[in-house]
Amino acid sequence: MSKLFLIPVMVAGSLLMAGCATEEEVQHAQATADQALSAANSAGQKADQAQATAQSAMSAAQAAQTTANQALQGVNDLQATHKKGQRG
C-alpha cells in the first residue's frame, strides 16, 4: 500500500477520533487518498513500461555488438588471408 494513501487516511482518522472532522473533511481525505493511490499505480505502470523499453534497447545493443564483432572478425580473416597470399 502506498505511503501517499496512508497519510490522508491517518489524518482523517486522527481528526475523526478527536471529534473535529466533518463528514466532508473525511470524504475529502478519502478522495485525496484515492487520487494518490491512482497516481502511484499509474507511475508503477509507467515504470514497468520504461523497464521493458530499456530491456528491448539492451537486447538491440547486444545484437549490434555481436554483429560488429562478427564484422571485425571477417575483416581480420580477410587481412590474414591477404597477408598469406603476399608471402606465398
H runs (alpha helix) in 19-88: 23-87
User: What are the sequence ranges of the domains in the chain?
Assistant: 3-87
Question: Which of the pair, 29 or 4, is modelled with greater confidence?
Answer: 29
Q: What is the pLDDT of residue 19?
A: 63
pLDDT reading at 84 higher than 90: no
Is residue 15 predicted with pLDDT exceeding 80? no
Q: What is the spatial distance between Cα 60 and Cα 67, in angstroms, rounded to a whole number?
A: 11
Residue-wise pLDDT for 25-83, tens only, equals 889 999 999 999 999 999 999 999 999 999 999 999 999 999 999 999 999 999 999 88
Q: What is the pLDDT at residue 83?
A: 85
Q: Cα(first)–Cα(last) distance of the chain, in Å?
A: 76
Q: Is the pLDDT of residue 1 over 60?
A: no
Q: Looking at the whole model, is its pTM more than 0.85? A: no
